[in-house]
Structure 1
């Protein structure tokens, strides 16, 4: 389905936010989503709710990773 991820039109097979996070970070070989936040249509979704948060065509998703330092 078509989604807008971090401002770019993308196609995704993910059905929920957890699957989208895995899809988007698969190349990073991360142990888990620690340090990440996801906003769906302008609302931040708690990590514990990602698997139960479905995606719909044309949703706007922002995936943000926190970094330490300055």
Structure 2
């Protein structure tokens, strides 16, 4: 398990990469933006972007409205 700051709150995770982390958190695959340590990670790079303890992840989901 690693400790990661998710949107400012520390959480434990067994995810090895961004794709696993998003899946672990039961987030939708569409309409989600992920930044790791201040860098936005394109969805095409989620699998190849490894996570380490103390990484800071920001996740934003799109919401419809008006």
User: Would you say same fold, with TM above 0.5?
Assistant: yes
Length, aligned pairs only? 65
SS in 1 for 2:19: helix
One of 34, 39, 59 as aligned partner of 1:63: 59
TM-score by length of 1: 0.87
Give the Å deviation of 1:23: 0.5
Q: Which runs of 4+ in 1 moved over 6 A?
A: none
Structure 2: which 5+ residue stretches go unaligned?
Answer: none
Q: Of Structure 1 and Structure 2, which has the larger fraction of its residues in strand? A: 2
Structure 1: which 5+ residue stretches go unaligned?
Answer: none
1:7 aligns with 2:8: yes
TM-score by length of 2: 0.92
CA RMSD of aligned residues (A): 1.1
Deviations 1:36-56 (A, max 9, x none): 010000110000100000001
